[in-house]
Amino acid sequence: MSPDAFNNLFSLLIGFAVAGALTSGYQAMLRQPAGFGLLQQGVVAQSFAAIPFLMFAAPFIIMRNTLLGPRLPEKPRRRAEFVMLATVLAGTWSMMSGTVLLMGLHAAGVIA
């Protein structure tokens, strides 16, 4: 495996791990799942605070909504194309947020 491919894989895994940890922590503290509805609170401080949170938690939220959506009785079964598109979107988003996290850790001197 080339160093660039390994770096991209590590960024993807770190991105998903941080997204899962953020949403699990949010759900443990507030007893409700995190979602994109956090942005629909109007122009208040909570909406602005939700933006950085959702920047890093979005891959987990996208995959959770994609995988749990068909289990609800009022929703029809998802098409394979939609699931594939959501997976690619969440994976790309996770890789980008993982890259930002790793660059921040590298700049802070935490990792070499």
Angle, to 10 degrees, between the axis of helix 3-30 and the axis of helix 80-107?
100
Q: Which amino acid is at 81?
A: E
pLDDT at 80: 84
* CA angle (77, 60, 16) in 5-degree steps: 130
Q: Give domain status of residue 70, yes or no.
A: yes
Yes or no: say if 15 and 58 are a contact pair by the CB < 8 Å rule.
no
Tokens 């979107």 label which residue? 89
Q: Give domain status of residue 103, yes or no.
A: yes
pLDDT at 68: 81
Yes or no: say if 110 and 101 are a contact pair by the CB < 8 Å rule.
no
Q: Give domain status of residue 54, yes or no.
A: yes
Q: Give domain status of residue 78, yes or no.
A: yes
Q: Give domain status of residue 72, yes or no.
A: yes
| Residue 36 CA to its chain's centroid (Å) | 11
The dihedral sign for the CA sequence 24, 28, 33, 36: negative
pLDDT at 49: 82
* Rounded mean pLDDT for each run of 10 residues along the chain, 112 residues in total: 92 96 95 88 78 94 85 71 93 96 94 82
What is the residue-wise DSSP string for 47-100?
Answer: HHHHHHHHHHHHHHHHHHHHHHGGGSTTSPPPPHHHHHHHHHHHHHHHHHHHHH
Q: What is the pTM of this model?
A: 0.84
Domain count, the chain: 1
pLDDT at 44: 76
Query: What range does the domain containing 44 cover?
Result: 3-107
pLDDT at 47: 77
Q: Give domain status of residue 112, yes or no.
A: no
